[in-house]
Each structure stands twice: as structure tokens, then as C-alpha cells.
Structure 1
Amino acid sequence: MKKLLLCCLFLPFWSLTLRAEPAELLTDHPLAGTLWHVGEKRQASPEELFAAAAEARWILLGEKHDNAEHHRIQAEVVGAVGERERRPALVWEMAQPEHDAVLKAATAEQVDGLGDAIQWEQRGWPSWPEYQPIAEQALKYGMTMAAGDAPPAVRRNLGKGGSLDADTAADIGWSRDYNDDQRRRLMELLALSHCGMLPEKVLPAMADVQRLRDAWIAKVMRDEGAEDGAILIAGAEHVRRDRGVPWHLLPLEDEMLALAAVEVVRDVADPEAYPSFDPEQFDYVWFTARVDEKDPCEAFRKSST
């Protein structure tokens, strides 16, 4: 089951180009379409989630990148927050600092071409039209959009074993490191999500890159959300409370809501059997149908040959 849930969690390290597809598999699964309050182990209504999101300063919406239903859910939450007269900044994991000015200047009339303007699909992300409704909701309610990701050159340098310059390190709070258990679990997940094909020696640097990206996103959220908070659109691994962006936003956890959209797994109808159903990771989990049941490792092996 873990392998089925791990595909696309770490897109920046993959050489694949993803496509967002309709979630048409297992639509009759008993969990498909259900929303759960994880801490209380009970089903919740979308209205409850929307109200809770509108009260949170930091709203983190996690996705599986290639599932179009996840982007529809994210757009719905963004719109619900806007309807309640909140104007948080909308921060994109998928955009880099060079795209920030374009995002900030975007208007509703330009949203169709926004993907091309920031080279969305050219950089390997799924089809922009699948994400476009999120931007439309943000612009409809006057939310500022911002690029969340760290500069590629900084990520590459760190991934090769380099270090951050002193100013950058201080700016993103780099001195706050994972404890041994956090680092071990992240490296185990990185190894598993790359199908055991990575040399063990590269895992510590990859874990540092993940920490860099989360710390950078957290700084952008604090900066852009100084007035009315921020909403993050990102892969589910980035929005988990135990070591993702929320961990870098501490001590602001009481002002935070983390939602993960999660694909159902065939013959697994107990929500507590899913690794994401963990109150240390997420506040809410929204189960959806699947895009496919392909072995992600098969695609990864082909891309590596």
C-alpha cells in the first residue's frame, strides 16, 4: 500500500513529466469523496472544513500532483475562504522566485496564459488548466499570488553537498534542523519513493533539499501573509505538520490548518489504515478516487534507463 501512496510526492527529484488526469478509478470506493477530521477520527462536511480554513491564518492544501480532483478541492477551499472575506496570499510550491513578479501582476483576464508565462508545463508540472481554477478563485477575491519555491541554483548546490550563504541561512531559519528521528524517517521515505534505486550516500543531501524547500516556503508564507495569512498549494509531503512547512512555521501551529487530499487504495476501506490518517501530520484528510493503479516504480525505472 505504501508504494501506491508515494507516487509523485517528490516530483523535483524525478525526471518524469506528469499529467493531471481525471480521478476515474475506484469512484465507488467507500471512502472516495469523504472528508475526515483526523484528530477526532470522524467524518466531516466540506462546510466544516471551509469554516475552519477561514479561521486559520495559515492554510496548507496538500495534493497528489497528477490528480485533477485534488486541484478542484484546492480551488473550492480557496474560493470558500475568499467568500468569507479573507484575503490571504496564495503561495505556489510550483513557482520559483523568477516567476514571482508575473504572479503578483496577474489579473483574471490573464489567467489563461499564466501557465505559459511562468513555464509551468515546460518545468514538468501537470497541465496548467487543471490548476487554473485555483488561480481564478484567488484572483476573483483579490488575493495576491506568490512564488514559494527556493531558487533552483540554491537547491542544486545544496543537493551536491554545498552549503547556504550566511544571509540565506539566517533568513530562512536554517539553524533549526531535523532531529535524528525526523531525518531518518524522511530519508527512508525518499529511498522508498525512488524505488530503492538511489545510492544511500545521496539521501542526506536530498533530505537537506527537502528541508530547504519547506523552510523557504514557510518564509514566503510569513512574508506574504503578514496582513491576512497565506494559503499554500503544494504536494502533500510539504504540508505535513511533523516535518513539512508547518514545522517551519512554528510556533504558529494553533493558527494553522493542514489538509491532505489522498487517493483511495483498492480494498482498503478503513481510513486509519492510511499513513496520512495521522493527527501529527494533517488536520483533515479528503479521500478521492484514483488516477490509476500503475506501479510508480516501473515508470521510474524506465525514466532512469
Structure 2
Amino acid sequence: MICRAAFLITLTVSLLTACASQPPASVPALLDRVLPSQALLIGEQHDAAEHQALQRDVVLALATRGQLGGVVMEMVEQGRDTLGLPTDAGEDQAREALGWKSDGGWPWAVYAPVVMAAVRAGAPVVGGNLPRARTREAMGEAALDDLIRPEVLQAQREAIREGHCGLLAEGQIAPMTRIQLARDRAMAQTLVNAVERAGPGKTVVLVAGNGHVRRDLGVPLYLPVTLSHRVLMAQAGSAKDEDRSADAIWLTPATPPRDHCAELRQRMAPR
């Protein structure tokens, strides 16, 4: 009888866990799952247009609820923001305020709907990424290695190695990892400041790549325990193993296959 009861309890817990892990069916259902929270970290696959559409819809829904406190973006460097812009500002004004470069690797047309949804709502869009001018300094900042546990540091180094398809020389792994750590720390610091500026009852959205919002490796490691936050990962096709720690998963259709390693080899080939 005890064994049967234990089995039923285990089965019930498993079923509840399975239900909780099911992707929400709509943006309102998603927000009902992850709110209230001071910060909502939305991870994306950069080449999946549905993910930027999700970010826009989340920003619009939070604004409608009167809960939007701002948007922090990986795509913009620290020190740039739309704080001085009126709600009827044009795209050119927003782009100039954010220092959005046409050759910066982030197509304005892709992220403009997210930015302008926040501007129209009167919520600031703030750059969260490490300024490019500080990347070389970060590469030599060995103190960054001590900010996280050794096993986490090693996992980050493996992620950098794998993300660059094994094409980096061994001596480049540690410096390149420090850039990733510095970027995560910069976004975390910006997010904390944005939450403080937004005040109680508001939610600040962070828009970044999935790797940056991972609880085990990314921005959450640098957030104070007093700051409530939720992690949403958007994935094209199917969920990944590293998504298991997310508070919610948003699945979209698979993107056309690309050989990222072949593209990287071409970019790194000597000219």
C-alpha cells in the first residue's frame, strides 16, 4: 500500500511538472505565468523573426497592463537610451538616440518594432551591452574569472569553444570567455539600474540571445538575490537541454538550416 501511494504521489508530481513545462498558448497566458516580476529576461534566436515578434507583443501587453518599466537590449551599447524622446518620436530619432549602426550586425528593421513599441508607451529603451571600446580591456581582466564558480567558468569556456566551432586557438578561449562574462555583467548591471528607475509594480524586459539569459551561465548569475526575475526562452523548432531552467519556453517553427560553422570559417579565413 505504501509503495502504491508513493507511486501515485510520484505520478502526480510528474504530471504537474509536465503541465508546468508546457509552452504557454498566448502572450497573456505567458505573462500570467511569469508575473509579477521586476524583470523578464527574454532569450531569442537572433535569426528567428517570430522571436522579435514575441518581444514586441510582450512589450505591448505589458504597456496595456500599465506594467512596462522599460526595455534593456543586448543590441545596444551601455550609455545609449531613449529617455529623452517623446512618445511620438520617429524611428530615425530613436535610432540616433540608441546609436544604432547599420553595420553593427543587428538589422534595425528587425528590432525597430520592439524599440518603437516601448517608445510609444513612454517606456525607456536602454542599451545593456558592453561597449565595443571596452572589449579589449575585458579580454585581459582576469578578475572576471573569479566572479563565477570554477565549474561555471569551465562551462562558459566550453560554450565559447563550441560556439566558434573549434576554430579558436586555445590561447583565445580565456580572453573570449571574459568578453562574454563582461557582457553578461554589463547587462545585469543595466537591468538592475532600469528596475530601480522603473519603481514598484513595473516589469523591465531584457532582450538578449538565449545564451545570455541562461540561469546557469548568463545574466541571472550577476543579479542580486533581492531582484525578482523570470526567464523566458524562445526556441525555433524544439526546446534545448539548457532550457530546462527557464520559467517558460516559447516554441516557434524551425528556421531553415544553416551551416554556421561554414559561415564562420569563411569569415575567419585569411584574406
d(CA) in 2 for partners of 1:206 and 1:123? Answer: 19
Q: CA, structure 1 residues 38+134, in 2 after alignment: closer, same or farther (shift >3 Å)?
A: farther
**Mapped partners of 1:89, 1:263: distance in 2:** 26
Mapping for residues 256-271 of structure 1, pairs under 5 Å: 256-264=229-237, 271=239
Give 1 or 2 for the bigger CA radius of gyration. 2
- Mind listing any 5+ residue stretches in structure 1 that lack a counterpart? 1-36, 165-173, 266-270
Q: Structure 2 CA distance, aligned partners of 1:121 and 1:258?
A: 29
Q: Which amino acid aligns with 2:117?
A: Q
> How far 1:49 moved relative to its partner?
1.0
* Structure 1 stretches of at least 4 aligned residues deviating more than 4 Å after TM superposition: none
Moved more, 174-183 or 188-197: 174-183
Counterpart position of 1:299: 263
- Displacement, 1:237? 1.0
Q: Which residue of 2 aligns with 1:87?
A: 68
Match for residue 239 of structure 1 among 213, 229, 237 = 213
Unaligned runs of 5+ residues in structure 2 are 1-16
2:11 aligns with none
CA apart distance, 1:288? 1.2
Which of 153, 156, 159 is 1:183 aligned to?
Answer: 153
What is the aligned-residue identity percentage? 25
Aligned length: 246
Structure 1 equivalent of residue 242 of structure 2: 276
Q: Which has the higher contact order (CA 8 A, sep 6+)?
A: 1
Distance 1:294 1:155, change over 3 A: same
Instruction: State TM-score, norm by structure 2.
Output: 0.82
User: Could you tell me which residue of structure 2 aligns to residue 12 of structure 1?
Assistant: none
Aligned CA RMSD, in angstroms, stands at 2.3
Asked whether the equivalents of residues 115 and 121 of structure 1 are also in contact (C-alpha less than 8 Å), the reply is no
Q: Which string of whole-angstrom CA distances, capped at 9 and with x for unpartnered residues, describes residues 209-267 of structure 1?
A: 111111111111111211134211111111111121111113146x21111111116xx
Q: How does 1:1-305 map to 2 (within 5 A)?
A: 40-46=20-26, 47-100=28-81, 103-113=82-92, 114-115=94-95, 118-125=99-106, 127-159=107-139, 161-162=140-141, 177-226=147-196, 227=199, 228-252=202-226, 255-264=228-237, 271=239, 274-279=240-245, 282-305=246-269
Structure with a larger share of its residues in helix: 2
SS in 2 for 1:287: strand
TM-score, length-scaled by structure 1: 0.73
**SS across alignment from 1:44:** coil
- The one-letter code sitting in structure 1 at the alignment partner of 2:160 is L
1:106 match: secondary structure: coil
